[in-house]
């Protein structure tokens, strides 16, 4: 029996700018189980990133409910949301979002420091994560000394280091050439095989096929769900 | 927290321009505050160095309806009140005086404290060696004893442990040393090497001398008593004994009453407004500095918006974000404070040059641990305060949007820019207040310096000397000395006139007394008794000082030996009593007694009015000059007019005086020009400090305006590119930037004017010849700030005109 990890029920997101309402999401129903690899696809402006922001607790829905591990999260305080982001969600961004003034090691270590984890434990987790993405040898470098593909690997390591319940990837290959893009997708694939739950936003159907299931968005609504036979 | 500190250090090192600007700003502002706080602390805050100093009070007569009369206490007050005020556990008196100390041929004029028997015990001070004075030693026959200060004991007696068996020569009389005081003892601002009994004879203690003020009375409040209790009991005693005084009605008409006040607060009261003003100015400067720092940090926060969004995305809570901000601001604040300590230490040394030791308790001003700790604590508070808007800014706004933002033109930037504009307006307003204050003080100083003192201060050298009690007992001895002194001085090359007087203008030695002019009817409106200055003169004092003769004649040597008394009055005196002229030949009595026992002075001449108390005195008290022979006065100031530089004859004059009498020594040698300048030292120092603060404020405001405008231009690079691409001319772009800057300056100026109108009224007591809302000062400052604001906009505006539309459009 699959176990539900994320569940959105009738989620709506409205942005209000200068008294003009923009409906970014309308009546979204979505459920993602533990261990699933789901892609969210759709054209630019369809609400993919807004949906990911809500799932990642970076934003709140205007209406509807959001259950994470069967717990409603829409009414949490900013501090509780930060705690959940830190412990249960791993983020991978299109533009890597590494902190340029920190070394590779420090970037990966950063979310662990916010947990108050002892230094020795942090060290073990960081080394493990960097080993997993094949970047242990660049631990002392700063992001500007790495290629785009390497930076994204570091970002993946940072997301993994905290043993999150789900990895949220927002166009993870968007800033990479095809070779590096393929390598990152392969990395995500291997992580999924190892048991990680992954939710990936992409507008590229080629990469969406790596997921078990693809949710298609258009104008803020789920218009189609397709299941890949070979995930 | 450690990782925050490490990261903050790394960031600060990585941005040396930002770090240096922030640290210099903080160091200057904290240093300026530290300098002024050192003075405020020493004078207004720190208790006097006596046990339970808060229980010490002083008391003195005031004559509110006799404004020309100086407040003070008398020896009679002491004896009348002693042991009669239950709210006081002890009462004492001191006469702050000078005396000739030392062996013949090597004498010096030293400060001398004449004190009553309980003086030291009232202060809670016990002699280090020996004993205090006794009641039995308070007469002229028994007062040949002395107590030495610790420092004088060490310097003059080599810290001899057997000093109690030795003697000290004072005014030619040997006095037995009976005690040595503990180190660093001083009474308020008065530090004397030698203390002797405040001896008196019966006539000085009885009711007739009750208003012969000139002493300082101090008391220690009894346990459980309050100031109000002391005041009430003294008031009751005053009422009870008032009828005993012969001129009781005149005294009552003058509104005479006793003021009881805390000793320290009363002593420093004259400089309190000036110190409060300067501390306020320093705090304004600090506020302006903080605003600059916040603006700088806001720019950084804007540029780091995405980094912070990433951190928050990864789970950084408010605590982590605030901690990061605090780490950076605290490092800046602490390092800035350490640099500020250095600036402060240099500044405090600079205060010494400005003559801070001339202020009440000013000698206590020093850089010490207390000041350093206060500066560090203050810096921590500054760091915490500066953190608040930055932390608020970092925590606001949507995370999702901030993460997406790749450009620097996001909504967060607009909010930051608004905030920074608001801060700039505040900064300009504060700078306006500081500049206006400094402008008013500067104008006051200029007006005071332009005041004619009533004499010609150029080429005049002056020096103080005391004649010993032992050597000058008869009038002949005085004549002999003055004849010898003047003859030798006149013989010096370049000396054109020489004289002496019991007081010279602006020297603070002036004595005053009630005078009565026969036939004079007081003006309507309640004018009662009038106090005028009285000065004994010898030789060619008026010629030497350059005081002009208006009518009649100067005093002559023969006048000193006349049976009847003659004198001169100044124009202020003459115009008051004889507005139509004809003062010469009229008579003046010292005191209120016009009976046969009180010989009047016949006026033989009228001289120009001289500013005796200070250049900025509003109305001269009027002066009576009389021949030195009238009273056996001991303290004189030698005045010599020379064609040479005054300083070049100083050493020669010292020799001449010593040759005239080996027991007499000339001290405090200063030209009259220096005395005039010194009389304005407090006013000059205040104006200078305020000017420095105002200039710093203007500089910081300029940097602030420049920073905001430069940032705004950078933000709008694409917009300028588009405008230029669409055909905007250089002037059009310049106008865009200038309008923005001028609008900020205009709002800041308007706010500053309102603030200045509210605040400058509190400095009225420090101004001279200019109103606190002087339109010229306000307009001048407004013009200056407007000019500076335009200059600060110039560079960013020129940068805006040089935007390459191709590059600007491609950059986005």
Closest CA to B285 of B134, B438, B388, B422: B438
Residue B137: CB atoms within 10 A of its CB come to 19
CB contact under 8 A, B317 and A83: yes
Instruction: Collect all residues of chain A within an 8 Å Cβ-Cβ radius of residue B319.
Output: 79
pLDDT score for A81: 87
Whether residue A78 and residue B14 make contact (CB cut-off 8 A), yes or no, is no
Of residues B772 and B398, more confidently modeled: B772
pLDDT bracket for residue B531 (50, 70, 90): confident
Nearest beta carbon to residue B315 from set A59, A82, A93: A82
From CA B308, how far away is CA B316, in angstroms rounded?
9
pLDDT in tens, B336-392: 999 999 999 999 998 888 888 888 888 888 899 999 999 999 999 999 999 998 888
- Check CB contact under 8 Å for A85 and B307: no
Locate the chain B residue with the closest alpha carbon to A53.
Answer: B400
Provide the token pair at A8: 């959105």
- Which pLDDT value is given to residue B634? 83
CB contact under 8 A, A82 and B316: yes
| Chain B contacts in chain A segment 107-136 (CB below 8 A) | 110-111, 113-115
User: Shortest CA distance to A79 belongs to which of B670, B377, B321, B128?
Assistant: B321
- State what percent of residues in chain B have pLDDT above 70: 95
Residues of B in contact with A86 (CB under 8 A): 314-316
| Selected residue of B10, B312, B315, B399 to mutate for chain A interface (largest A Cβ count, 10 A) | B315
Express each pLDDT in B148-193 by its tens digit. Answer: 999 999 999 999 999 998 999 998 889 999 999 999 899 998 999 9
Please indicate whether, in this complex, the C-beta atoms of B314 and A79 are within 8 angstroms of each other.
Answer: no
| Average per-residue pLDDT for chain B | 88
Residue B800 and residue B734 in contact, taking contact as beta carbons nearer than 8 Å: yes
Which residue of B lies nearest to A161 if distances are taken between CA atoms? B314
Identify all chain A residues contacting B2, using CB atoms and an 8 Å cutoff. Answer: none
Q: Residue A41: which residues within 8 A CB-CB, separation 6 or more?
A: A48, A201, A202, A203, A205, A208, A214, A215, A216, A217
Out of B311, B317, B398, whose CB is closest to A59?
Answer: B398
What residues of B are in the A interface, CB distance below 8 Å? 3, 7, 10-11, 14, 306-307, 310-320, 398-400, 403-404, 406
Task: Tell me what percent of chain B is helix, strand and coil, each rounded to the nearest 5.
Answer: 55, 15, 30
The tens digit of pLDDT for each residue in B75-100 reads 999 999 999 999 999 999 999 988 98
Q: Is pLDDT at A21 greater than 90 in this prediction? A: no
Distance between CA atoms of A97 and B403, rounded to whole angstroms?
A: 8
Q: What is the mean pLDDT of residues B579-605?
A: 88
CB of A11 within 8 A of CB of A72? no
End-to-end alpha-carbon separation of chain A, Å?
19
Q: What is the pLDDT of residue B474?
A: 84
Distance from B319 to chain A by nearest Cα, in Å?
A: 9
Counting every residue written for chain B, the total comes to 812
**Which string of b and e fits B691-703 if b means at least 16 CB within 10 Å?**
bbbbebbbbbbbb
Distances B412 to B302, B319, B415 between C-alpha atoms, Å: 7, 21, 5
Interface-testing mutation among A22, A47, A58, A167, with chain B (most B C-beta atoms within 10 A): A58
Q: Which of B45-59, B271-285, B612-626 has the lowest mean pLDDT?
A: B612-626
A53 in contact with chain B, both atoms CB, cutoff 8 A: yes
Kindly tell me if the per-residue pLDDT of B811 is higher than 70. Answer: no
Q: Chain A residues with CB inside 8 Å of B406's CB?
A: 95
- Residue B233 has a pLDDT of 96
CB contact under 8 A, B315 and A111: yes
CA A138 to chain B, closest CA, distance in angstroms equals 20
* Residue from A13, A76, A113, A167 to probe the interface with B (highest B Cβ count within 10 Å): A113
Output the DSSP codes for B656-716: HHHHH-TT---EEEEEHHHHHHHHTHHHHHHHHHHHHHHHHHHHHHHHHHHHHHHHHHHHT
Q: Determine the residue among B314, B321, B407 to mutate to test chain A binding: the one whose Cβ has the most chain A Cβ atoms within 10 Å.
A: B314
Chain B residues inside the 8 Å CB shell of A99: 307, 310-311
A8: β partners: A30, A66
Contact yes or no for B317 and A59 at CB 8 A: no
Structural domain contains residue A25 = no
Cβ–Cβ gap A102/B7 under 8 Å = yes
Give the pLDDT of residue B411.
46
**Closest chain A CA to residue B399:** A58
CATH number for A95? 3.40.50.300
Chain A CB contacts of B410 under 8 Å are: none
Q: B463 with B653: CB under 8 angstroms? A: yes
Question: Which pLDDT tens digit goes with each residue over A51-105?
Answer: 988 999 888 899 999 999 889 987 888 888 888 988 999 988 888 888 888 899 9
Q: Which residue out of A13, A48, A50, A114 would a mutagenesis test of the B interface target, given it has the greatest number of B Cβ atoms within 10 Å? A: A114
Tell me the shortest Cα–Cα distance from A99 to chain B, in angstroms: 6
pLDDT band at B220 (very low <50, low <70, confident <90, very high): very high
Q: How far is B718 from chain A (nearest CA, A)?
A: 23
- Split at pLDDT 50, 70, 90, the class of B230 is very high
Structural domain count, chain A: 1
Instruction: Label residues B746-755 b or e (16+ Cβ within 10 Å = b).
Output: ebbbebbbeb
Residue of A nearest to B2 (CA): A113
Three-class secondary structure of residue B1 per DSSP:
coil
Q: Which residue of chain B is at minimal alpha-carbon distance from A102?
A: B7
- What's residue B7's pLDDT? 87
With cut-offs at 50, 70 and 90, classify the pLDDT of residue B710: confident
Cβ-Cβ contacts under 8 Å, A162 against chain B = 315
Chain A residue with minimum CA distance to B310: A97
A26 occurs within a structural domain? no
- Kindly report the pTM of this predicted structure: 0.80
Note the helical H segments in B396-522. Answer: 399-404, 411-449, 475-490
- Nearest CA of chain A to the CA of B320: how many Å? 7
Chain A residues inside the 8 Å CB shell of B5: none
Which among B11, B317, B398 is the nearest to A79, CB-wise? B317
Residues of A in contact with B14 (CB under 8 A): 101
Measured between beta carbons, the chain B residues lying within 8 angstroms of A114 are 311, 314-317, 320
Which of the four pLDDT bands, split at 50, 70 and 90, describes residue B524?
A: low
Residue of higher predicted confidence among A10 and B531: A10
- pLDDT score at B408: 38
Q: Is A56 on the interface with B (CB under 8 A)?
A: yes
* Beta-carbon separation of B399 and A102 below 8 A: no
For the stretch A170-216, pLDDT in tens is: 888 887 788 888 888 888 888 888 888 999 998 877 788 888 899 99
Whether B409 shows a pLDDT value over 50: the answer reads no
- Give the pair of three-digit tokens for residue B517: 């002019």
What's the domain range around A94? 35-61+76-227
> How far is A56 from chain B, CA to nearest CA, in Å?
8
Q: Are B441 and B690 in contact (CB under 8 A)?
A: yes
Candidates A49, A99, A158; nearest CB to B307: A99
Phi, psi (5° rounding) for residue B269? -55, -40
Nearest CB among B307, B310, B317 relative to A82 is that of B317
Find the helix or strand (DSSP H, E) in which A116 lies: none
């Amino acid at each position: 029996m699959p176990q539900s990890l994320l569940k959105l029920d009738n989620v709506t997101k409205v942005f209000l700018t200068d008294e003009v309402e923009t409906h970014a999401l309308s009546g979204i129903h979505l459920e993602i189980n533990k261990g699933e690899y789901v892609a969210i696809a759709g054209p630019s402006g369809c609400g993919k990133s807004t949906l990911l922001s809500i799932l990642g607790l970076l934003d709140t829905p205007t209406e509807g409910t959001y259950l994470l591990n069967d717990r409603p999260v829409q009414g949490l305080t900013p501090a509780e949301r930060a705690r959940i982001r830190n412990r249960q969600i791993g983020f991978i961004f299109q533009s890597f979002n590494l902190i340029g003034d920190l070394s590779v090691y420090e970037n990966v270590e950063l979310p662990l420091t916010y947990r108050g984890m002892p230094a020795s434990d942090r060290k073990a987790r960081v080394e493990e994560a960097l080993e997993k993405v094949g970047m242990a040898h660049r631990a002392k470098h700063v992001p500007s000394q790495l290629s785009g593909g390497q930076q994204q690997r570091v970002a993946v390591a940072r997301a993994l280091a905290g043993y999150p319940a789900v990895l949220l990837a927002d166009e993870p290959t968007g800033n990479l050439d095809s070779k590096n893009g393929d390598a990152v997708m392969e990395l995500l694939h291997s992580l999924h095989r190892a048991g990680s739950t992954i939710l990936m936003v992409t507008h590229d159907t080629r990469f969406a096929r790596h997921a078990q299931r693809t949710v298609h968005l258009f104008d803020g609504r789920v218009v189609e769900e397709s299941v890949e036979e070979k995930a | 927290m450690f990782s925050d500190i490490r990261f903050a250090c790394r960031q600060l090192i990585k941005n040396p321009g930002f770090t240096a600007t922030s640290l210099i700003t903080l160091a200057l502002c904290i240093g300026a505050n530290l300098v002024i706080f050192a003075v405020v602390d020493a004078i207004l805050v720190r208790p006097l160095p006596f046990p339970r100093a808060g229980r010490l009070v002083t008391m003195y007569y005031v004559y509110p309806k006799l404004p020309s009369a100086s407040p003070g206490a008398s020896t009679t007050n002491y004896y009348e009140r002693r042991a009669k005020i239950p709210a006081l556990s002890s009462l004492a008196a001191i006469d702050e005086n000078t005396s000739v100390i030392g062996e013949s041929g090597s004498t010096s004029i030293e400060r001398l404290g004449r004190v009553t028997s309980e003086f030291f015990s009232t202060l809670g001070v016990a002699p280090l060696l020996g004993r205090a004075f006794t009641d039995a030693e308070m007469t002229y026959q028994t007062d040949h004893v002395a107590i030495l200060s610790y420092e004088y004991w060490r310097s003059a007696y080599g810290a001899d442990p057997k000093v109690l068996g030795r003697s000290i020569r004072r005014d030619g009389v040997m006095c037995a040393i009976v005690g040595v005081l503990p180190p660093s003892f001083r009474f308020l601002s008065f530090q004397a090497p030698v203390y002797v009994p405040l001896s008196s004879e019966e006539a000085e203690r009885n009711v007739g001398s009750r208003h012969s003020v000139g002493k300082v009375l101090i008391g220690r409040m009894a346990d459980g008593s309050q100031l109000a209790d002391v005041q009430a009991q003294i008031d009751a005693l005053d009422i009870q004994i008032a009828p005993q005084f012969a001129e009781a009605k005149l005294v009552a008409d003058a509104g005479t009453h006793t003021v009881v006040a805390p000793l320290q607060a009363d002593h420093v009261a004259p400089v309190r407004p000036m110190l409060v003003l300067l501390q306020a100015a320093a705090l304004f400067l600090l506020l302006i500095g903080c605003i600059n720092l916040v603006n700088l940090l806001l720019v950084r926060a804007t540029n780091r918006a995405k980094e912070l969004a990433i951190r928050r995305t990864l789970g950084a809570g408010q605590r982590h974000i605030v901690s990061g901000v605090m780490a950076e601001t605290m490092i800046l604040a602490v390092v800035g404070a350490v640099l500020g300590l250095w600036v402060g230490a240099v500044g405090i040394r600079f205060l010494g040059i400005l003559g801070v030791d001339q202020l009440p308790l000013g000698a206590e001003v020093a850089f010490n641990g207390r000041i350093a700790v206060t500066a560090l604590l203050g810096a921590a508070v500054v760091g915490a305060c500066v953190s608040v808007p930055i932390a608020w800014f970092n925590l606001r706004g949507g995370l999702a949007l901030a993460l997406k933002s790749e450009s620097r033109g996001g909504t967060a930037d607009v909010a930051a820019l608004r905030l920074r504009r608001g801060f700039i307006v505040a900064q300009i307003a504060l700078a306006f207040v500081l500049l206006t204050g400094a402008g008013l003080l500067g104008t006051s100083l200029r007006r005071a310096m332009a005041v004619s003192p009533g004499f010609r201060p150029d080429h005049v050298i002056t020096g103080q000397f005391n004649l010993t009690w032992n050597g000058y007992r008869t009038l002949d001895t005085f004549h002999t000395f003055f004849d010898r002194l003047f003859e030798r001085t006149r013989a010096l090359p370049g000396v054109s006139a020489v004289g002496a007087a019991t007081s010279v203008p602006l020297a603070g030695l002036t004595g005053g007394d009630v005078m009565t002019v026969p036939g004079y009817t007081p003006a309507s409106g309640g004018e009662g008794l009038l106090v005028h200055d009285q000065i004994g003169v010898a030789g060619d004092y008026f010629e030497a000082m350059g005081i002009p003769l208006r009518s009649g004649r100067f005093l002559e040597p023969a006048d000193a030996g006349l049976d009847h008394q003659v004198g001169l009055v100044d124009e202020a005196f003459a115009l008051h009593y004889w507005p139509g002229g004809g003062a010469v030949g009229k008579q003046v009595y010292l005191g209120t007694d016009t009976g046969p026992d009180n010989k009047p002075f016949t006026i033989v001449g009228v001289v120009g009015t001289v500013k005796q108390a200070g250049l900025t005195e509003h109305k001269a008290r009027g002066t009576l000059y009389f021949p030195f022979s009238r009273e056996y006065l001991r303290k004189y100031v030698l005045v010599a007019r020379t064609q040479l530089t005054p300083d070049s004859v100083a050493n020669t004059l010292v020799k001449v005086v010593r040759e005239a009498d080996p027991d007499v020594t000339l001290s405090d040698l200063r030209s009259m020009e220096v005395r005039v300048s010194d009389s304005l030292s407090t006013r000059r120092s205040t104006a200078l400090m305020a000017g420095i603060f105002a200039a710093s404020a203007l500089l910081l405001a300029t940097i602030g305006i420049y920073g905001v405008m430069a940032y705004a231009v950078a933000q709008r690079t694409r917009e300028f590119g588009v405008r230029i691409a669409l055909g905007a001319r250089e002037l059009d772009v310049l106008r865009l930037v200038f309008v923005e800057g001028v609008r900020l300056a205009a709002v800041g100026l308007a706010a500053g004017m309102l603030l200045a109108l509210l605040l400058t009224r509190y400095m009225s007591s420090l101004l001279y010849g200019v109103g606190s809302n002087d339109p010229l000062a306000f307009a001048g400052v407004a013009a200056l700030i407007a000019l500076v604001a335009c200059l600060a906009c110039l560079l960013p505006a020129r940068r805006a005109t040089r935007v390459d539309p191709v590059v600007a459009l491609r950059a986005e």
